[in-house]
Structure 1
Amino acid sequence: MKANFILFFGIISQVFAVQSCGAQNSRIVTEGAELRLVADGYDFTEGPAADKNGDVFFTDQPNDHIIKYDVEADSVSVFMEGAGRSNGLYFDDENNLIACADEEFQLIKISPNKDIEVLVDDFEGKKLNGPNDLWIAEDGGIYLTDPYYQRPYWDRTSPDLESQNVYYLAPGAKSLITVAKDLVQPNGIIGTLDGKTLYVADIGDKKTYSYTIATDGSLSEKTLFVEMGSDGMTLDNQGNLYITGDGVTVFDKNGKQIKHIAVNENWTANVTFGGKNGQTLFITAMDALYSLKMNVKGVRW
């Protein structure tokens, strides 16, 4: 999460050419595809997540809005105002939007009717640092990162917790358990469809790790995946990992860089797959939402 920027609203048809490293031969991007500016004019975009229709929801956290991009209509609208300063988003199997809402240091569930249920609001009686990003496993278990970023809308100026951890909320559980705590500042998080591997970006240490997920949801076998941190992350159906920050950098399952997608913004915050058949990459960057047609698709399609 970075600083606020100028607020105005609109959809712009401007496009930017996709640039990639000259030595790379990856064909994950549709031939001739261009990076499209879908919408801009927000303060800071984050947390893109696609529902079952392929529509993409993302946050404008400084304005406390969740925005919906309707793929078929090619239009954006405010889905919710007063969304707990939501940051990272993810849909569960019942089309509820699970959100990291750091205004009150909570994990919340937003129903299709916009009813809000607080799933978690503390860890062992202490306020969380500020839930940032999450991933939901096929069995409904939720993994979330909890870095500390001082917000201007908080009264507090220091964290209640001593460390910045990764937590797990088991299906049906009411309390979090710590599954990774030896990180500087965990941020982006994403897991594989088979539920066996979890990737966690330690943006504070400029590294991304992989973990093995046990049947009880615990993590083991922490392994350095790449010497690069990330804000948000996603995976495609070939097992490639998409890391954000300076544009979008793509690594194959062995940690080899296969693509760099340049984005003409100072910071790329997050990324997800959506659209028809999950074959469009959506990127939140500064005040905007971008899209790019792909040959690969998201793991849920």
Structure 2
Amino acid sequence: MAITSRAIFWCLCCEILIVAGGAAAAQPALFESRQVTPAGEYTFGIEGPAVDLDGNLFVVNIGRAGTIGRLSQGASQSEKFLDLPEGSVGNAIRFSPDGTMFVADYKKHNIFLVAKGASDAAVWFHSDQMNQPNDMTIARDGTIYASDPNWKGRSGRIWRIARGADGAVQGEVMTAPRAMGTTNGIDLSPDGRRLYVSESNSGQVWSYSLHGNDLTDARLIRTFEPDTVDGVRTDVSGRLFVARILKGAIAVLDPNGSLQREIVLRGKEPTNLAFGGSDGQTVFVTQRQGGFIESFRTDREGREHCLQRGNC
């Protein structure tokens, strides 16, 4: 049977629609979480997820305390990346724009540095005055802000750690306009002017203006139930993603604290989260219950991912 030009045209259109529809169907739905790695890969102390420039996810305490695991981009199983020095246990990992890894060692009060391409950790900063370095965030100029909770005293503070004019690494406890609770999750606004801090004991999330070593203009932006907040990360639009430990969810807040949505997770005890993937719109979540990693897609890039790519 002869086929007319018009018939050929409509056949091609149908084929294009089918291909396009299939590609769209292959994309994961936004804000729907799935388990990525097997249960039991990591210990109860699973924490500190961070993604490097190559898309590899790094998480502390794979198999046993004092280790760092790596989940290669697209993989479904982690492998051990390195062992920290004897007696040290990591809690947070962050990457600077040049690919340097920093690890908060809460046991020995260190901030370790792992140079890009290296597989061993060197002490970058140490202070016996720390309760324990818990979580960290990195500013555009390389300054590290670290939460320092005192769990027994149900109090905490923030450290500012940076290289001085002489090149030496210096760390100071930041002055604050109020007595803080157990400081835990921490991140910066996209413009770097405000610091967000979650306090586990009160379930509160606070915002501060940054002025050198001073925290000013304290604003309570959201209160959850006590002991139900952990890690905090921001995206390029300024939204906050808050790990609701014991609640099995990630709360998404606007910069003023209004709840935009809650993302229901597979596990019930999320400790922290990190943005990654090729476009910075995949969120990886560490799950204390079961010791695994899950992930979901979001609609905007993470602040740190954008910073690492040099686009922010």
TM-score higher than 0.5 here? yes
Given the superposition, is the C-alpha separation of residues 209 and 30 from structure 1 closer, same or farther in structure 2, using an over 3 Å criterion?
Answer: farther
What is the deviation of 1:213? 1.3
Aligned residue for 1:164, secondary structure, equals strand
Given the superposition, is the C-alpha separation of residues 231 and 180 from structure 1 closer, same or farther in structure 2, using an over 3 Å criterion?
Answer: farther
Q: Deviations over 1:45-88 (max 9, x none)?
A: 21111111222111127522211111144442111123621111
What is the deviation of 1:183? 0.8
Greater share of residues in helix? 2
| Structure 1 letter corresponding to 2:171 | L
Per the alignment, residue 32 of structure 2 pairs with 34
Q: Are 1:224 and 2:220 counterparts?
A: yes
Given the superposition, is the C-alpha separation of residues 175 and 260 from structure 1 closer, same or farther in structure 2, using an over 3 Å criterion?
Answer: same
Per the alignment, residue 278 of structure 1 pairs with 280
- Kept in 2, the 8 Å contact 1:68–1:78? The answer is yes
Counterpart-to-counterpart distance in 2, 1:264 and 1:30:
16
What root-mean-square deviation, in Å, do the aligned CA atoms of Structure 1 and Structure 2 show?
2.3
- Kept in 1, the 8 Å contact 2:32–2:264? The answer is no
Match for 1:293 among 277, 297, 300?
A: 297
Aligned pairs for 1:69-218 within 5 A? 69-82=71-84, 84-112=88-116, 113-122=118-127, 126-149=128-151, 164-172=156-164, 173-180=168-175, 182-214=179-211, 216-218=212-214
Q: Are 1:58 and 2:54 counterparts?
A: no
Given the superposition, is the C-alpha separation of residues 30 and 250 from structure 1 closer, same or farther in structure 2, using an over 3 Å criterion?
Answer: farther
Counterpart-to-counterpart distance in 1, 2:98 and 2:30:
36
Give TM-score scaled by structure 2 length: 0.77
What is the deviation of 1:194? 1.6
What is the deviation of 1:230? 2.2
| Structure 1 letter corresponding to 2:43 | D
Given the superposition, is the C-alpha separation of residues 32 and 110 from structure 1 closer, same or farther in structure 2, using an over 3 Å criterion?
Answer: closer
- Kept in 2, the 8 Å contact 1:170–1:217? The answer is no
Given the superposition, is the C-alpha separation of residues 32 and 249 from structure 1 closer, same or farther in structure 2, using an over 3 Å criterion?
Answer: closer
- Kept in 2, the 8 Å contact 1:30–1:294? The answer is no
- Structure 1 residue ranges without an equivalent (≥5): 1-28, 151-158
Aligned residue for 2:170, secondary structure, equals coil
| Structure 2 letter corresponding to 1:171 | R
Counterpart-to-counterpart distance in 1, 2:99 and 2:207:
28
Counterpart-to-counterpart distance in 1, 2:194 and 2:72:
31
Counterpart-to-counterpart distance in 2, 1:174 and 1:221:
27
- Structure 2 residue ranges without an equivalent (≥5): 1-26, 307-312
Counterpart-to-counterpart distance in 2, 1:295 and 1:185:
31
Counterpart-to-counterpart distance in 2, 1:233 and 1:75:
25
Per the alignment, residue 236 of structure 1 pairs with 235
Aligned length: 259
- Kept in 2, the 8 Å contact 1:248–1:260? The answer is yes
Given the superposition, is the C-alpha separation of residues 218 and 54 from structure 1 closer, same or farther in structure 2, using an over 3 Å criterion?
Answer: farther
The structure with the largest alpha-carbon Rg is 2
Counterpart-to-counterpart distance in 2, 1:270 and 1:32:
19
- Kept in 1, the 8 Å contact 2:238–2:254? The answer is yes
Given the superposition, is the C-alpha separation of residues 32 and 177 from structure 1 closer, same or farther in structure 2, using an over 3 Å criterion?
Answer: closer
Counterpart-to-counterpart distance in 1, 2:175 and 2:92:
19
> Percent identity, aligned pairs only?
27
